Amino acid sequence: MTNISMIRAAADRLNGHARRTPLLSSPFLDEIAGRRVLIKPECLQHTGSFKYRGARSAVSALDDTTRAKGVIAFSSGNHAQGVALAARQYGIPSVIVMPEDAPKLKIDNTRALGAEVVLYNRADGESREALGEQLQVERGLTLIRPYDEPQVIAGQGTTGLEIAEQAKAEGVEQADVLVCCGGGGLTSGIALALEAEAPGLRARPCEPEDFDDATRSLAAGEHRSNAQPSGSICDAIVTPTPGEITFPIMKRLCGAGLVVTEDECLRTMALAFQRLKLVIEPGGAVALAAALFRKDQIEGEAVLCTISGGNVDTNMFERALNQYGT
């Protein structure tokens, strides 16, 4: 189970590798939100999302012999690129198992970062696991899970250490920290970091409507699942239910979840373009959208929020600008 010592150790291993993203703000966003909004833009992280932190943490935590054999991950998106880059930095092989209908650009990017991409047929549910197990056994690869993995949570939690320091420097010691939530790795990691370093800050998961498994699970006190496995424009943060490791941490430490609409995510993308000069993906927008459009569900004079990633294609970005740009 991840704890604060593991997060601090991960921060040491990430030092000089993961980018320390700044804390951004805009008076125009403050006005919409009715309070001060401080934004942690992990779209500026290497590979365009916070996933690199967890990937690098997990790869760097392996012993040399194990690591030298290589790593494997299942991902159609941000985790794939994070693992590929971390592996390349260590000069070790990485295999990324991706659905054959994944966007060509993401497949190309993952390959360009040095990974061997193995495609599977998404329609055949068994094939992915079988393929992955076979590769692990044959080549001695270590599986890097996207969130239910203590060292991945520890790496993602380093975002929380930075938020604690940066919020303090801004004079904010009592506030909600809104986190884009899929499986809960980033949310639980940040929650653990805040518990130790900034007890006045409280993590709260944010999700798109119809894919609010974490929010409903927290309200119920036990795992709840989404009705649909996919179908959100916020695909990067959609998972069926919170993780086995992440959920108990969230349950102990997090405030209630916040749920936003897809339109609010698109509107937030247009605002981030105009006011922050940031490119954010729909899933990466949910926490800022909650800060802007769920103000009655938030208390305090300030709110912090993460932007989890910026890997959005041109069409989706133009959709946001065309609908909500000025």
| Residue 318 near its own copies by CB under 8 A | yes
Q: At what angle do helices 51-61 and 78-90 cross, to 10 degrees?
A: 40
| Residue 271 near its own copies by CB under 8 A | no
| Residue 279 near its own copies by CB under 8 A | yes
The CA-atom distances, in angstroms, between 188 and each of 2, 34, 103, 122, 296 are 9, 27, 29, 29, 24
- Among residues 9, 10, 21, 56, which is the contact residue for its own copies, using CB under 8 A? 21
Report the nearest approach of its own copies to the CB of residue 180 (Å).
15
- Going by C-alpha positions, the residue among 294, 259, 295, 292 that lies closest to residue 275 is 292
Residue 24 DSSP code: B
What is the CA angle 311-74-17, rounded to 5?
55
| Residue 118 near its own copies by CB under 8 A | no
| Residue 74 near its own copies by CB under 8 A | no
| Residue 280 near its own copies by CB under 8 A | yes
Which amino acid, one-letter code, is at 162? E
Half-sphere exposure of 68 (CA within 13 A, CB side): 3
- Among residues 276, 287, 288, 302, which is the contact residue for its own copies, using CB under 8 A? 276
What span, in angstroms and rounded, lies between the C-alpha atoms of 184 and 324? Answer: 29
Stretch that binds its own copies, among 54-62, 108-116, 187-195, 257-265 (CB under 8 A): 108-116
Non-local CB neighbours of 63 within 8 Å, separated by 6+ positions: none
| Residue 44 near its own copies by CB under 8 A | yes
Report the nearest approach of its own copies to the CB of residue 314 (Å).
4
Report the nearest approach of its own copies to the CB of residue 223 (Å).
33
Question: What are the residues binding its own copies (CB under 8 A)?
Answer: 19-22, 24, 27-28, 41, 43-44, 48, 85, 105, 109, 112-113, 273, 276-280, 310, 314, 317-318, 321-322, 325-326
